[in-house]
A and B are shown apart, each in its own frame.
Chain A
């Protein structure tokens, strides 16, 4: 497929569990972004990678959130000790350049019980 893919599409976690969300960007895209979309809201920026370098993580809501992109392609967003307020759709996007046009994936819907 030519688009951004994310897995899993749905994740249910018990409070306190750790989760890992995967993003496969469009091949060759240098820039990769993670956004969090709460119910009824627009996406909110979490973090940005240029190749393997994490250039901005200012949107990560707490130190329980960690993102990596070790080889400059696939990225993983990890949430430790999940809380109910972490329930949201997590969107990944990629871009061939500095985010002028971001292509979004389908998102992972995380529900924390």
Chain B
């Protein structure tokens, strides 16, 4: 069965600090990978996605993620966070052969202090 692990449940950073959120998945086949963000009081929004090609994916608002197949990882990074990045971040995967079903991690709550 597929699973997704996000090891950091809560992260607190000051503005301008660099961010890296870990995501590891468990699945033996080919996957698509996603990061979703949920800002306070808002719904889940897609931040970025990886299907194939360049393993370094750039998303909205300066976020990027790198797919490392050998490590089953898809970590999210941002060089310099802003107060407005305060949100909950979810990593998700789906298998290419059942691409409708997203498997989510438990999420990481990020608090950026001004």
Interface residues of A (CB under 8 A from B): 3-4, 31, 33, 35, 40-45, 48, 50, 55-56, 59, 91, 93, 95, 98-107
For residue B73, CB closer than 8 A to chain A, the reply is no
Contact of A56 among B51, B90, B101, B104 (CB under 8 A): B101
Task: Tell me which of A35, A56, A102 has the highest count of chain B C-beta atoms within 10 A of its own C-beta.
Answer: A102
Stretch at the interface among B39-47, B53-61, B62-70, B79-87: B39-47
Contact indicator A43/B51 (Cβ below 8 Å): no
Task: State which of B98, B102, B105 has its C-beta within 8 Å of the C-beta of A102.
Answer: B102
Measured in the bound complex, the distance between the Cα atoms of B36 and A99 in whole Å is 14
Q: Are B43 and A105 in contact (CB under 8 A)?
A: yes
Contacts A98-B99, A100-B99 given; does A43 touch B104 at CB 8 Å: yes
Query: Closest approach, in angstroms, between the C-beta of A92 and any C-beta of chain B?
Result: 10
Name A41's closest neighbour in chain B (CB-CB).
B106
B19 within 8 Å of A by Cβ?
no
Chain A residues with CB below 8 A from B98, complex form: 56
Known: A56-B100, A105-B43. 4 other contacts (CB 8 A): A43-B90, A93-B44, A98-B100, A104-B36
Q: CB within 8 A of B51: which of A55, A98, A100?
A: A100
- B102 proximity list for chain A (CB < 8 A): 33, 35, 43, 45, 99, 102
B105-A42 in contact (CB<8A): yes
Partner of A44, one of B43, B104, B107: B104
Q: Is B24 an interface residue (CB 8 A)?
A: no
